[in-house]
Amino acid sequence: MTQNQQDLLGLPRRRLAEVLAPFIDRPYRTDQIYRALYERGAGEIGSITELGKELRAELAERFTIGLPEVATRHLSADGTEKFLFRLADGATIEAVDIPDGRRRTLCISSQAGCALTCRFCVTGYWGGGRDLTAGEIVAQVLAVGKQRRESGGGLNLVFMGMGEPLLNLGALGDALEILTEQISWRRITVSTAGVIPGIEELAGWRKRPRLAISLHAPDDDRRSRIMPINRRYPLADLLAALRRYPLDRRERLTFEYLLIRDFNDAPADADALVRLLSGLQAKVNLIPLNPDPVLDESMKRPRRTVVTAFRDRLTSKGMTATVRKQRGDDVSAACGQLRAPGREPRGFRRSNLSL
C-alpha cells in the first residue's frame, strides 16, 4: 500500500459507497465490490473482474485491499491451528482456528498486543500495542477462511485473542457490522477484562454480540493481584454495570474463571463465586491455567480432580458451569498463550509476580 492509497477492507457498506462515489457511475458497482471484498475475499482490485478493466485500473491507483501476510501456521495435534499474521506496518498478531466436530470456533485479536498486563496472560507480558483497524479485524476471518477454503457459515467467532476489544470499540463496531452479514450475532462473543465504559457503550448498541467477562477471582484482593485493571474497575462497580446490561430471556453473561492451583480453586472460592454472581443471568466457564515459560513458575494448573470438584460445587448450588477444553497448547495456541514474536517484553516481569 502506498501512502496515497486508501484501504477498502474494513469499510461497512454505507461508508464504502461514500468513498467510492466519486469514481463509479452506477450504485450497483458498490455492491459488486462489497461482495468481492467480504464474500469472495478478493486480495486485490485487479481480481474484481465484475468491473471493467479501465475502472479496475483507476481504482487500483487510489485504493488497496489490506489482507495481511500469513507469516506462519502451526498445526496442533488436536487439529487446532494457530496463524501468525504480519500487518502492513510490520506489527504481528495471532488468531486461532479451533475445530470441534462440525463446528468451528475462530479466536481473533483486536489489538496488536495488550496493555492490561494480566499476570496469567502471555500477551500482557509482551506489553501494549496499537489498536487494530476494522479491516485488520475482518481480515483475520477472511484470511483463515481462505486458507481453510470455508465460508463463515456455521462459524463461531470469539474476540478472545490478543488485546482488549472494549478499548477498540470503534473498529470493533465497524468490523461486526461487516461480519454479521455472514455470521449471526448470536455466534459472536466479545470477551472483556471488565472495561466498564466499554460495557456501558456496548449496552446501548441496537444489536450486540454475546458478552464474556474475564473474572478469575471472587474478591478484589486476589483479582487485583492478577488483573491490575481491577484497581480501576473493582468488582462492585463491574457487577453493578453488568446488572444493568440488557439481556433477553435466553441470553446469559459468560464469566471466564481461570483456575490457578492453591490460589482460587478451593471449595470456599466456588461458594464465594456463587454469591458474587447471585441474581445474574450467568454461566461460568472454568479454564484450568495454561502454563507458559514467560509466566511466574508459582502459577500452576490445578489437578483434574480439583477442577472437577470446583465445577461440581458450582452446579450443586444452581450455577451453570462448564470446563473449557485445553486445545492447541502444544503450539502455544491455548487460552492466554498468544504472543507477538520479535518484540521485547514491555509488560510485567516474572520477578515481580507474587501470588
- Could you say which of 114, 118, 121, 335 is catalytic? 335
pLDDT on residue 355? 57
pLDDT higher than threshold 90 for residue 354:
no
User: Would you say 213 and 237 are in contact if contact means Cβ atoms under 8 Å apart?
Assistant: no
User: Would you say 268 and 281 are in contact if contact means Cβ atoms under 8 Å apart?
Assistant: no
What angle do helix axes 196-203 and 169-179 make, rounded to 10 degrees?
40
pLDDT on residue 352? 45
Closest CA to 238 of 189, 194, 282, 191: 194
User: Would you say 7 and 19 are in contact if contact means Cβ atoms under 8 Å apart?
Assistant: no
Distance CA 224, CA 133 (A): 30
290 is written with which cell numbers? 495454561
Mean pLDDT, residues 122-140: 92
Q: What percent of the chain has pLDDT over 70?
A: 93
Closest CA to 195 of 107, 129, 115, 125: 115
pLDDT on residue 308? 98
Map grid coordinates 474494513 to a residue.
10
28 is written with which cell numbers? 450497483
User: Would you say 163 and 124 are in contact if contact means Cβ atoms under 8 Å apart?
Assistant: no
Active site residue 335: yes
Active site residue 121: no
Distance CA 297, CA 316 (A): 33
On whether the 69-352 domain is CATH 3.40.50.150, my answer is no
Domain ranges of the chain: 6-64, 69-352
pLDDT digits (tens, 9 = 90+) for 272-311: 999 999 999 999 999 999 988 888 888 999 999 999 999 9
Residues 6+ positions from 52 with CB-CB distance below 8 Å: none
pLDDT on residue 297? 83
More confident residue, 293 or 348: 293
Distance CA 64, CA 128 (A): 28
Residues 6+ positions from 292 with CB-CB distance below 8 Å: 122, 332, 336, 337
Do domains 6-64 and 69-352 share one topology? The answer is: no
pLDDT higher than threshold 80 for residue 183:
yes
pLDDT on residue 252? 97
Three-state helix/strand/coil letters over the chain? CCCCCEECCCCCHHHHHHHHCCCCCCCHHHHHHHHHHHCCCCCCHHHCCCCCHHHHHHHHHHEECCCCEEEEEEECCCCCEEEEEECCCCCEEEEEEEEECCEEEEECCCECCCCCCCCCCHHHHCCCCCECCHHHHHHHHHHHHHHHCCCCCCEEEEECCCCCHHHCHHHHHHHHHHHCCCCCHHHEEEEECCCHHHHHHHHCCCCCCEEEEECCCCCHHHHHHHCHHHHCCCHHHHHHHHHCCCCCCCCCEEEEEEECCCCCCCHHHHHHHHHHCCCCCEEEEEEECCCCCCCCCCCCCCCHHHHHHHHHHHHHCCCEEEECCCCCHHHCCCCCCCCCCCCCCCCCCHHHCCC
- Could you say which of 94, 136, 164, 177 is catalytic? 94
pLDDT on residue 291? 85
More confident residue, 47 or 149: 47
Fold (topology level) of 6-64: DNA polymerase; domain 1 (1.10.150)
The pLDDT confidence band at residue 111, using thresholds 50, 70 and 90, is very high
